[in-house]
Amino acid sequence: MWTMSDMFNGLMVIPNLIALLALTGTVKAVYHDYIEKNGGK
């Protein structure tokens, strides 16, 4: 029983990793926009 629970917990990594990779470009764009507006402070 615990093995199955651990397996499903491990499988939850997959959608989170996909979302993280999908948002990388957005985060990078927002970060650069912030740096330009605030002068790197």
pLDDT, tens digit, 9 for 90 and up, residues 6-33: 999 999 999 999 999 999 999 999 999 9
Read off the pLDDT band of 39 (50, 70, 90).
confident
pTM above 0.95, yes or no: no
pLDDT at 40 over 80: no
What does the pLDDT read at residue 2? 84
What does the pLDDT read at residue 23? 96
What does the pLDDT read at residue 41? 64
User: Six-digit token pair at 21?
Assistant: 């990779």
